[in-house]
Amino acid sequence: MSVEQLGKLIVITGPSGVGKGTIVSLLLQRYPQLRVSVSATTRQPRSGETEGINYYFLSQKDFETAILNHELLEWAEYAGNYYGTPKAQVLEQIEQGNYVILEIELRGARAIANMFPAACRIFIMPPSIEELEQRIRSRGKNSEESIVQRLKIAREEMAAKDEFEVQIVNDDLEKAISKLEKAIFSENTE
């Protein structure tokens, strides 16, 4: 019996700045039975972040050991830091019958698709690349070089949208959440 038959794995991806974090936060407020996977990273904690809540903060050596020991469902290096999904916690939650959300980048979503073909895979898109650029700029956190790089990556990621069973345009937050709710709760694993 595969673990997917017990609980449900929900993979949510899309370009940086599309609103994945906001959507997932609102879903978790509305559906406390949902679980979100806590990622591991080698980057330093930001102000207000808590170990085990926001991320598991690992040294580079510990992260590389986790890779070698196949303790991660997926991992990637981004902007000089490692990010990945610890396998044990996700499998445990699914085995307990929980719905687990992975909010991850495209490469990780592809890796998960190979391991968990029954996962509900959802791609969040911006209404347009121009709207995405405006959202990224309005954050005020990125240099011009970083914005250009993020938009280049976003275009590449958006070209992969057809790899996902569910595609949701985040042009209206409530409509996007409603579509996400239908995708998560109306389809049982096949």
Length of the chain in residues, anyone? 190
Q: Which helix (H) or strand (E) holds 35?
A: strand 34-36
Buried (b) or exposed (e) across 162-183, using 16+ Cβ within 10 A? Answer: eebebbbbbeeeeebbebbeeb
Alpha helices by DSSP H, listed for 17-95, are 20-30, 60-68, 87-95
| Contact of 151 with 133, CB cutoff 8 Å | yes
Q: Which helix (H) or strand (E) holds 177?
A: helix 173-185
First to last CA, the chain: 13
The pLDDT of 11-32, averaged and rounded, is: 92
Output the pLDDT for position 187. 56
Find all residues with CB under 8 Å of 174, minimum gap 6, and list them. none
Output the pLDDT for position 141. 76
C-alpha dihedral, 80 to 36 to 116 to 158, nearest 10°: -60
The pLDDT of 103-107, averaged and rounded, is: 90
Q: Does the structure show a pLDDT above 70 at 44?
A: yes
Q: What does pTM read for this prediction?
A: 0.85
Output the pLDDT for position 189. 41
Q: Which helix (H) or strand (E) holds 125?
A: strand 120-125
- Which amino acid is located at 186 in the chain? S
- Superfamily of domain 3-185 in CATH is P-loop containing nucleotide triphosphate hydrolases (3.40.50.300)
The pLDDT of 78-83, averaged and rounded, is: 86
> Where do the structural domains in the chain lie, given as residue ranges?
3-185
